[in-house]
Amino acid sequence: MTELLENQDETPEKPVLKILYQDEYLVAVDKPSGLFVHRSYMDKDEIYFALQLVRDQIGQYVYPLHRLDRPTSGVLLFGLSDEVARLMGQAFTNKTIQKTYYALTRGHLLGEGLVDYPLKEKLDKIGDKYVDPNKEAQEAQTYFESLDIATLNETVGKYDSVRYSVVKLKPVTGRRHQIRRHLAHLRHPIIGDINYGDNKQNPFFNQYFGFKRLMLHAKTLNFTHPITQKPIEIQADFDQQWQNVFERLSLNIAELSD
């Protein structure tokens, strides 16, 4: 019992993030699911943050250029100076940076299209306490393309099979939880989404595949370098959990990664 209590008090080993791209102006890492980008009022029990980890790994201050929700994995980009951060901020505002995500969703979502569905801003009770709660819904667009579908002959609730889709997504706008909310709007919520997902499918997925997470991955970031003006593409591979899901559902990772 004493040994168990001692282990509970131990500080988790400091993660080392995979660097996907680095030059004298920018650095990009592969953020794992479950890691906050930076400190917030929600993180009182957290020890490590992506911003801190990247700073310590490369030995200099970094500027976060965009946001990935804690449960989302994939490409996370930082600037290495305030000037680069300013230029990249303009690029994000002007929508000249293209982000490509992959999601595993409930049900068989077929075809492709544009979800053009305005979203009311999601407010945090503490972080957004001074924001007008009556603010009108903001325009929000997300392109989606269904890449493949799969079926498990397992009974969940009133259904005698479990259906999944792998969906490629390119957000045009950048509203909070936009991809998650747009897929829920299509009635194909992302697996593992505790805010907008399926409270029967999520527990089944956790038990069947042996892990619990949001199945949303920021796969690719394309942009023009703010200094060199060269086209840059940064990719984060699917991690082992994603690969295990693809294998068990007999989906071809190579084809889905194109």
Choosing from 9, 23, 56, 69, the catalytic residue is 69
Q: How many angstroms separate the CA atoms of 83 and 171, rounded?
A: 26
Query: Exposed e or buried b for every residue in 207-241, given b needs 16+ CB within 10 A?
Result: eebeebbbbbbbbbbebebbeeeeebebbbebbeb
**193, HSE (Cβ side, Cα atoms, 13 Å):** 24
In the residue annotation, 69 being an active-site residue is answered as yes
Q: How many angstroms separate the CA atoms of 201 and 158, rounded?
A: 12
- In eight-state DSSP terms, residue 11 is P
| Residue-level length of the chain | 258
Query: Nearest to residue 150, comparing CAs of 191, 112, 178, 186?
Result: 191
- In eight-state DSSP terms, residue 119 is B
Q: How many angstroms separate the CA atoms of 16 and 42, rounded?
A: 23
- In eight-state DSSP terms, residue 156 is B
pTM, whole model, 2 decimals?
A: 0.89
Per-residue pLDDT of the chain (258 residues; tens, 9 = 90+): 444 444 455 667 888 999 999 999 999 999 999 999 976 655 556 678 999 999 999 999 999 999 899 999 999 999 999 999 999 999 999 999 999 999 999 999 999 999 999 999 875 554 445 455 667 889 999 999 999 999 999 999 888 999 999 999 999 999 999 999 999 999 999 999 999 999 999 999 999 999 999 999 999 999 999 999 999 999 999 999 999 999 999 987 666 665
**92, HSE (Cβ side, Cα atoms, 13 Å):** 17
Inter-helix orientation angle 240-248/201-209, to 10°: 100
Tokens of 32: 């794992």
